[in-house]
A and B are shown apart, each in its own frame.
Chain A
Amino acid sequence: MSESVANNKSIPHESAHLHVTGDAAFADDISQLEGTLFIALFTSEKAHAKVISIDTSAVEASPGFISLLTTEDITGSNDCGPIIHDDPILADGVVSYIGQPIFAVIADSFLNARKAVKKAKVIYQQLDAVFDLNQADNNKSYVLPPMMLKKGDASGQLDAADCRLEGQFKVGGQEHFYLEGQIAYAVPKEDGCLHLWCSTQHPTEMQHLVAQACQLDANQVIVEMRRMGGGFGGKESQSAIFCCIASLAAKKLNRPVKCRLDRDDDMLITGKRHHFDYDYQAAFDNDGKIKSLQLKMLVGSGYSADLSGPVVTRALCHVDNAYTLDHVDLGAYCCKTNTQSNTAFRGFGGPQGAFATEYIIDNIARCIGLDALDVRKLNFYGKTENNITPYGQPVEDNVINELVAELEKSSEYRSRRKKIEAFNQSSPVIKKGLALTPVKFGISFNVVHFNQAGALVHIYTDGSVLVNHGGTEMGQGLNTKVAQVVAIELGINPKRVRATATDTSKVANTSATAASTGSDLNGKAAQDAARLIKNRLILFLAEKHAIDKGLISFANDKVHLGEKVIQFNELIQMAYEARVQLWSDGFYKTPGLHWDQEKLVGSPFYYYAYGASVSEVAIDTLTGEFKLLRADLLHDAGNSINPAIDLGQIEGGYIQGMGWLTTEELVWNDEGRLLTHAPSTYKIPAVSDCPAEFHVKLFKNQNVKDSIMRSKAVGEPPLLLGFSAFFAIRDAIASVAEYTIHPPLNAPATAEEILNAVDYCLNS
């Protein structure tokens, strides 16, 4: 399907042989200690209410009941907000959404805990609840102050251009649906300490929040995390509540306590991708060149801030996507509603920002009767001019023009466009659509100080190597890549290198594995550690053999000293006996970043990753159902460390992005209860959604920046490739009215949404 473009190898995921045998241990698979207890959470039945009384008498009489955990048991701070302290662990007096934990029941089994908690009776006094973003905006009810990003003179240019468009559209949220639900297992240790095994992208934050909740020092809490069964952002901040509850219960009872969630509870309690309502005015010339863009984004934050601040910052910094926008006036409003607190999700606001401009360009093209691809190409960033983003960072590594040109050719975009138009002429029921959409995605945390990482490398006397770093493995292949980096640095087979569980007692003060930075940061830190050891070995050999250091090299499990060759194992044994330190730490911080969060200007990104996709779909104009017929993806992963793993991220991201914009619909009822809280009602892509024709390639490129092996981050950017599926659907719908009407299609484009848009176009 794809060729390797790097010298580096497509070795299997380091745990692949464990995944397929069922031997890979997830948090719930770790042998439980004798005396382990289990938690079930009582969650709010009202969207906004005062809690008047809680009757737990029947709960306490229930079989297997051990204890309750209430706000009174929280000795430290009742807060697990990652940035703003507005996120109680347990609701204290007032509940803010249906699903918010109020108290916990601890019992001798998972089932007994769940049965007991159902017997509680809570009386509420209802307060006014807000669910609609417009209503929250009218009330000026936000979880954070509004954020504005302006450049040039957007309103002035609005009148100067040839054409104008305005309108509204929406994009829905997205449930992470990590296959492994949230889980934390807390075990009390001597001297008040705690050891936690949990499923989290951010062990350090779990350590700190648990310490604060339990009134412990950070050095009393160890968080260990071998692997997650998927994260996608949902286990960045939102694993905290479960870690805190398990820890508080373990402290209270001095027993091991497990907090594992049933899927429905998980979906009811935790936040999702932010949904956005957009209102825009755009001006452009007759050829499609965008002159001005004014965009108001109402952001569904839910009841608390969580990560809405940085999510929305990234959204604002991605409205440009791959396009030069000289005159923009962008505003984002984090609306407070009585629903789950929305959080990080692959792309972290970037997809929602870029989606807006893609939607508007789709409309511009239809206005002037051009293929949307031509309008896109006309507006792409230049390489050395027309390359300043709205937030002031120059785009210095732009490859979007050549990347899209290559994909346009390899996908046979133009000839397929003609074929599709002909097909649609003669097919009244089934209509086809085609779209090509680009991606430019900024890599680095928008918060400068998060861009640091540490690692430890140990070489044991038998020549085997162990690497530990601050990143977390959630399936993205981080441990595989980091082990490869260490192997490449030491000139040894990757099979000699073992990556171990992330552990806050090994590498301290780690950043979340997020923002696609896992390999960039931790790979560099591990490389630094391996290099330090290698330099010591070189020094040792140079002295011992009186040879110039430049003549010593490491390759293929051997060390070359000019003509002489020593096995790597032998060298290590010799070095040990000569008392050379065979382990080292390593550290990395991304250079050259600066960001002014007040003014939203600076250079927040070390570099950009690029990609593009072409999707061809067919829709059924009788039912609104669609089928993805073919997808062609071309993506820039720089000099890929592991092409197979990168292709896996690209394909998986594309399908997940397509799911977000098509079948994945979140539905709340009028009382604010989430109705889609299980896979029976919330539909992520399944096997038949993978297209029959699927062409995926890496774009030949090298990072111009000194990133790890000149590769590029590949976790989040491919999610935006899924856009083309949505716009292909919109193209198919537009065909029913000869491409003259803008289909009023919101995302997700469910069958019902598609059929309504078809009917609108037919009846306009």
Chain B
Amino acid sequence: MSVAESESVIRFILDGSVVSISNIDPSLTLLQYLRETLYRSGTKEGCAEGDCGACTVVVGEIVDGRIRLHSINACIQFVAMLHGKLLFTVESLQTAELHPVQQAMVDCHGSQCGFCTSGFVMSLFALFKTTARPDRSQINDALSGNLCRCTGYRPIIEAAAQMFEIERPDNWLTQAAQEHVSPIDEYESGLINLLESIRPEKILYLQHSGKQFFAPLAVDEFAQLIEQKPGATIVAGNTDVGLWVNKQLRDLPEVISLSQVNELKKIEVTDSEIIIGAGVSLSDAFTELVRHYPELNDLFRRFASMSIRNAGTLVGNVANGSPIGDSMPILIALNSELNLRKGKSQRKIALDQFYLGYQQKDCQPGEFIESIRIPLNNNHYQLASYKVSKRFDQDISAVCSAFVIGLDENGIIDHLRIAYGGMAATPVRAKNTEQVLLGKQWSEASVEIARQKLNEDFSPLSDVRASSAYRLKVAQNLITRFFLESQSEHSDQVIDLAGVSS
């Protein structure tokens, strides 16, 4: 890359104007920039790790010719990653009257101390603009990344329903999500034009206080850069790297962002597999996966929070390789593969071969994951993935398990993959357990054998989330759960909490 071919000004749209920023520290967070440079103090810092939602803002992009919005956490997002995007903060909703979301929050007594409120307002605004008449579980999903310590949430949940009832001047901003897509109005077309006017055409290259930041546009350029700078940090959604900066105070000398590489944002579905690019957000990836694997809906609802899923990527979760990453057990159990790329050369590797040890991967310096290939369920296997944690929303698993089973016409297990998170230094298959079950009848007796065998597969750690004994016990019990669930068509018993009500 030569400097002449790059640009060094970050541009995004805020309140109808182009914000141009040059000469900044590339790891400056959006929250810092909003509060300390733009003096927009409505967006708050509650935790600086994407776990409380007080910093929630809404980001927009053009998707299929329309503006699409989603909520993100400003505290762990670099300003540089806003390049080419549309930003709404709580101040953006300000007109002569309160926005319907804000009015509903006032009318329902949805704020007490008020510190979390602007974050809630922005999550509700994203919901207001994307989901027509959400039900309680959609409201929960939209607010899963926002903590409130005062209200107990009831009035906020009520506001989420009531905001659609409030009539305000009908412009795009105050126009609720419609059952039928409404035509593009003047306001939206203005935003589209503005976004077109700042569409990145060159690689973004920032250099400041010994740090470099690159946001290339083409995948070839991206691959070349990574090969040239094997020590660089690759970022997509920044949901983990943001914490390195905020909490560990790490300086990142070279950062390469894939946020502008459109080729990596593609999902391809063939007869046999789903191929998800490295730039595809967790939200988009899960939407597609649930289309093919509805069994996974509950797992994905519990994966981090809405705003984290909107920013983070599925491949990022896989590449990060945390032993408690919640996507990997099921991806391993489904026999997914990774497309790795280094410069121009590409190779495939099975996901269960990718993790070599704690924070160690079969990935060369200068190599990166271009996409993940997830087989379709053409064999009609039964599958499930269960997450167990202290709290339903936005928590890290104590144990996460995944099962994919195939039975022959006699009920004999002829295909089985079991994988766990939280049980070892990496997400990993329970190979001894798989082995002992293959060829056996799928029965209570086999489950008992499998439970015992699991002791040979794992000796988990004790930590802040759970003890070793609990992890092992739950890992065994989840085999039982999977068995019961696979038999559930023969029974009307409720076997999970999701299905139970007063």
Could you tell me if A20 and B105 are in contact, using CB atoms closer than 8 angstroms? yes
- Cβ contact within 8 Å between A679 and B106: no
The reply on A389 being an interface residue by CB < 8 A is no
A25 touches B115 (CB 8 A): no
How far in angstroms is the closest Cβ of chain B from A502? 15
Return chain B residues, CB-CB under 8 Å to A681: 396, 464-465
Tell yes or no: B33 within 8 A of A by CB: no
**A21-B94, A667-B464, A690-B154 are known contacts. Are A751 and B390 too (CB-CB below 8 A)?**
yes
* A475 engages B98 (CB within 8 Å): no
B102 touches A20 (CB 8 A): yes
Residues of A within 8 A of B93 (CB): 21
B200 at the binding interface (Cβ < 8 Å): no
The interface residues of chain B lying within 8 Å CB-to-CB of A752 are: 398, 466-467, 470
Interface residue from B89, B144, B247 paired with A687 (Cβ < 8 Å): B144
Known: A179-B44, A230-B150, A622-B481. A12 touches B106 (CB 8 A): yes
Nearest neighbor of A231 in chain B, beta-carbon distance:
B113
In whole Å, how far is A648's beta carbon from the nearest beta carbon of chain B?
Answer: 6
Which residues of the partner chain A approach B102 to less than 8 Å between Cβ atoms? 17, 20-21
Residues of B within 8 A of A759 (CB): 473
B111, B156, B386: residue with the most chain A Cβ atoms closer than 10 Å: B111
Which residue of B94, B121, B496 contacts A430 across the interface (Cβ within 8 Å)? B496
Q: Which one of A23, A180, A751 contacts B42 once the chains associate, using CB atoms below 8 Å?
A: A23
Partner of B113, one of A21, A229, A622: A229
Q: Interface range on chain B: under 10, 10 to 19, 20 to 34, or 35 or more?
A: 35 or more
Chain A CB within 10 Å — which of B49, B90, B93, B390 has the most? B390
A652/B49 in contact, CB under 8 A: no
Interface range, A side: 35 or more
A33 sits at the interface (CB 8 A): no
The distance in angstroms between the C-alpha atoms of A187 and B155, with both chains bound, is 39
B113 and A16: CB pair below 8 A? Answer: no
Cβ 8 A contact of B106, one of A17, A23, A622: A17
Considering the complex, give the chain A residue whose CB is closest to the CB of B479: A622
Flag if A179 contacts B115 (CB, 8 Å): yes
* Given known A-B contacts A20-B98, A20-B105, A22-B90, A648 and B117 have beta carbons under 8 A apart: no
Judge whether B114 and A651 touch: CB under 8 Å.
no
Tell me the complex Cα distance, A263–B52, Å: 11
Which A23-61 residues have C-beta < 8 A from chain B?
23-26, 28-29, 31
A620 x B497 contact (CB < 8 A): yes
For chain A, residues 174 to 231, give those with C-beta under 8 angstroms from any C-beta of chain B. Answer: 176-181, 227-230
- Secondary structure of the B contact surface, majority rule: loop
- State in angstroms the CA–CA spacing of A428 and B493 once bound together: 8
Given contacts A651-B152, A687-B144, contact A21 B249 (CB under 8 A): no
A48 to B218, CA, bound (A): 56
B151 within 8 A of A: yes
Q: Which residue of B lies closest to A722 (CB)?
A: B152
A180 contacts B113, C-beta separation under 8 Å: yes
Assess whether A755 is interfacial by the CB under 8 Å rule.
yes
Cα distance A420–B109 when bound, in Å? Answer: 34
Q: Which residue in chain B gives the minimum CB-CB distance to A664? A: B390
Instruction: Give bound CA distance, A690 to B160, whole Å.
Output: 14
Kindly state whether residue A522 has any CB partner on chain B within 8 Å: no
* Contact of A258 with B by CB under 8 A: no
CB distance from A8 to the nearest CB of B (A): 15
Closest residue of B by beta carbon distance from A696: B154
Check if B391 sits within 8 Å of A627, measured CB to CB.
Answer: no
Task: Contacts A20-B117, A227-B113, A622-B477 given; indicate if A627 touches B152 (C-beta within 8 A).
Answer: no
CA distance A651 to B35 in the complex (A): 32
Residues on the A chain within 8 Å of B54, using CB: 179
A97-148 interface (Cβ within 8 A of B): 111, 114-115, 118
B52, B54, B107, B115 interface centre (most CB from chain A within 10 Å): B115
B493-A22 in contact (CB<8A): no
**Complex interface: chain B residues within 8 A of A416 (CB):** 502
- The answer to whether A684 has its CB under 8 Å from any CB of chain B is yes
Partner of A477, one of B112, B156, B481: B112
Query: Provided the pairs A26-B115, A29-B41, A179-B115 are in contact, do residues A687 and B153 lie with their beta carbons within 8 angstroms?
Result: yes
> Per-position contact with B for A618-632: 1 when CB-CB < 8 Å, else 0?
101011111101100
Min distance, Cβ A686 to any Cβ of chain B, angstroms: 4
The residues in B between 422 and 475 inclusive whose CB is less than 8 angstroms from any CB of A are: 463-467, 470, 473-474
Q: Which residues of A contact B52 (CB under 8 A)?
A: 179, 679
Is A680 touching B94 in the complex (CB atoms < 8 A)?
Answer: no
Contacts of A581-640 to chain B: CB distance below 8 A: 616, 618, 620, 622-627, 629-630
> In the complex, are the beta carbons of A629 and B500 less than 8 A apart?
yes
A426 within 8 A of B: yes
Contacts of A675 in B (CB 8 A): 463-464
B44 with A26: CB separation less than 8 A = yes
- Is the C-beta of A665 less than 8 angstroms from some C-beta in chain B? yes
The answer to whether residues A622 and B480 also contact, given A26-B115, A690-B153, A692-B501 and a CB cut-off of 8 A, is yes
Contacts of B198 on A, CB cut-off 8 Å?
A: none
Contact of A651 among B106, B151, B496 (CB under 8 A): B151
A15: CB under 8 A from chain B? yes
- Shortest distance between the CB of B501 and any CB in chain A (Å): 6
Q: How far is the CA of A86 from the CA of B158 in the complex (A)?
A: 47
Q: How far is the CA of A626 from the CA of B41 in the complex (A)?
A: 38
Residues of A within 8 A of B106 (CB): 12, 16-17, 20
A428 to B492, CA, bound (A): 12
B500 cross-chain contacts in A, Cβ below 8 A = 430, 432, 618, 627, 629
On whether the beta carbons of B154 and A651 are closer than 8 Å, the reply is: yes
A15 to B110, CA, bound (A): 12
Residues on B with C-beta less than 8 A from A652 are: 112, 149-152
Please determine whether A678 and B49 come into contact, CB atoms closer than 8 angstroms.
yes
Q: Is B146 an interface residue (CB 8 A)?
A: yes
Greatest chain B CB density within 10 A among A477, A620, A645 is at A620
- Distance to closest chain B CB from A716 (angstroms): 14
Docked Cα-Cα span, A500 to B57, in Å, equals: 30
Known A16-B106, A262-B48, A686-B393; contact A655-B495, beta-carbon cutoff 8 A? no
Interfacial chain B residues near A685, Cβ < 8 Å: 152-153, 391
- Does chain A have a CB within 8 A of B204? no
Partner of B114, one of A19, A428, A647, A692: A19
A686 and B392 in contact, given A180-B44, A622-B480 (Cβ under 8 angstroms) = yes
- Is B299 in the interface zone, CB < 8 Å from A? no
Instruction: Take A19-B114, A24-B114, A230-B149 as given contacts and tell me if A679 and B464 are in contact as well, using a CB distance cutoff of 8 Å.
Output: no
A663 close to chain B: CB less than 8 A: yes
| Residues in A whose Cβ lies below 8 Å from that of B143 | 687
Nearest CB of chain B from residue A497's CB, rounded to whole Å: 18
- CA gap between A15 and B147 in the complex, in Å: 19
Which residue of chain A is the closest to B474 with respect to CB atoms? A623
Q: A694 touches which one: B147, B154, B474 (CB < 8 A)?
A: B154
Q: When the two chains form their complex, are residues B157 and A687 in contact, meaning their CB atoms are under 8 A apart?
A: yes
Identify 21 residue pairs between A and B in the complex whose beta-carbon atoms are under 8 Å apart, listed by A's number. A12-B109, A16-B106, A16-B109, A19-B114, A20-B103, A21-B90, A22-B43, A26-B44, A31-B39, A179-B113, A179-B115, A179-B147, A230-B149, A263-B47, A622-B478, A622-B480, A648-B155, A665-B390, A687-B157, A688-B393, A752-B398
Residues of A within 8 A of B (CB): 1, 10, 12-13, 15-26, 28-29, 31, 111, 114-115, 118, 176-181, 227-230, 232, 262-264, 416, 426-430, 432, 474-477, 616, 618, 620, 622-627, 629-630, 644-645, 647-648, 651-656, 663, 665, 667, 675-676, 678-681, 683-690, 692-694, 696, 750-752, 755-756, 759
Residues of B within 8 A of A (CB): 35, 39-49, 51-52, 54, 89-91, 93-94, 98, 101-103, 105-107, 109-118, 121, 136, 139-140, 143-144, 146-158, 247, 249, 386, 388-396, 398, 463-467, 470, 473-474, 477-478, 480-481, 484, 493-497, 500-502
The 10 closest A-B pairs by CB, nearest first: A22-B42, A229-B115, A475-B113, A19-B114, A655-B152, A475-B112, A22-B90, A679-B51, A29-B41, A630-B502
| New contact pairs (4) apart from A19-B114, A655-B153, A687-B146, CB-CB < 8 Å | A20-B105, A22-B43, A620-B496, A653-B152
